[in-house]
Each structure stands twice: as structure tokens, then as C-alpha cells.
Amino acid sequence: MKDKFGNILWGAAFILIGLIAALKSFNVVDFNVFFEGWWTLFIIVPAVVSMVQNGIKTSNVIVLLIGVFFLLSARDILGYDTFAKLIVPTIFLLIGVNIIFKDQFNKNYKTIKTLNKNGLNEYNAIFSGQEVNFPAEKFEGANINATFGGVDLNLKNAIIDSDIVIEASAIFGGIKILVPQNVRVKVSSTPVFGGVSNKVNPVAGENMPTIYVNSTCMFGGVEII
């Protein structure tokens, strides 16, 4: 449904441009399609479509603000010097707010909150690397942090017989998670110049345990295999 609505939005935008161009050709309206800053629509419209299709995220809000700032600057409403002073602090403010309240914006928030437990395994790599091969024992979730480093978590031999949560934070770093074949994986992410790659094939059948990966990627990435 969201993809369809996004396509409708794109189509409506092009139809509107075409109609305005046609009306201007016959002097029905006095409107210049190529107004000052028209090129910023190629930044603003994709950001709005992304919000419709994927929900409001830090990444598409940042792109939208950049587009709006450029539009205001192109129309001499906001000077480029002011834009340069505001854009970086605004981005960091948005990132900070999103990190603090990311769970509330998470579509799987209730499930993750229910499954989250204290005392989960902690795997951290700060200016370093860590490889973890989990033994053939029950795995109940983990908190993973890779800051200017990397963490490889191998769960191929782990026993996962119920839904669990993996909290993953990759900041200028990378995280790789290898999962067994009998699980589903659902990803919720906050990507800021980074992202999550979920390469796990969908599992057929009922009552399969689900791994919820709740990630924050800032200039880093999480790979799930």
C-alpha cells in the first residue's frame, strides 16, 4: 500500500509539472516551472516519498531539511552562510533526539520492549575488532556496539527456540551477524550515512522464532547473513 501511494505521489508530481507547463505555453497561467531553486525538488520530493513509504526516519528528515535549506537559500530567503551554520548543528540535534527516542518510533517497539531483558550478552569493539563464535547453547539476545571497530557474531550453532532481540549499534564501524537457518529476521534501523543489509532468506513454516535486530548505524553498517 505504501509503495503504491509513493508511486501515486511521484506520478501526481510529474502530471502537475506537465499541466503547468502546458497551461503556461497557452498563456493561461504565468508560472515558471523552472523557478529559482527548482532543482531542490529532486531532493525534497524523494525525501517526502521515503517518509510515506518507510515512515519518518532520521535519514529522510535530514535529506528533507537539506532540500528545504537549499530551496530557501536559492530564493534568497536564507543566506548560504546561515545555511552552513545551521545544517551541521541541526543534523546532530536530529541524530541525538532519534537515538534517545528511537524505540518509541520503532514499529516493533512493543515486541522489542517485551523481549528485552537485563543481563544480555555484551559484545563491544571500540577501536578494535572482536570475533564471537557462540557455542551450541541457548542464545537469548545480545547488545552489540562497534565504534571505530568491528564485531563478528556467529550464531550458526546457537540454539534459538524463541523470539529474541539483538541491539546493534555501529558508529564508524561494522557488525556482522551470522544466524542459523531456522529463524526469521526482522530489522528496525536508524541509518545515518549507513545502513543494514539483511541477506537472510525468508523461512517457510509456522512458529519459527524471530530475531529482532534493532540497529543504529551512523557512518557504519550491520550485515546479517
Nearest to 200 by CA among 164, 158, 155, 170: 155
Helix (H), strand (E) counts: the chain? 5, 10
For 15-32, the pLDDT digits (tens) are 777 777 777 677 766 656
Beta strands in 4-138 (DSSP E): 121-126, 129-133
Separation of alpha carbons 31 and 1, rounded Å: 34
For 77-97, the pLDDT digits (tens) are 877 677 667 777 776 776 676
Q: What is the pTM of this model?
A: 0.56
Name the more confident of 169 and 120: 169
The three-point CA angle 55-57-61 to 5° equals 110
Quick one: pLDDT band at residue 157, thresholds 50, 70, 90?
very high
115 pLDDT exceeds 70?
Answer: no
CB neighbours of residue 12 within 10 Å: 10
For 179-191, the pLDDT digits (tens) are 998 898 988 877 7
Q: Which three cell numbers stand for residue 199?
A: 541477506
Quick one: pLDDT band at residue 194, thresholds 50, 70, 90?
confident
State the average pLDDT for the chain.
Answer: 77
pLDDT above 70 as % of the chain:
71
Residue 110, pLDDT score: 53
Instruction: List the chain domain ranges.
Output: 2-101, 109-224
Asked if residue 175 lies in contact with residue 148, where contact means CB atoms within 8 angstroms, the answer is no
For 42-82, the pLDDT digits (tens) are 888 777 776 776 566 666 777 788 888 888 888 778 776 77
Q: Residue range 89-116: average pLDDT?
A: 60
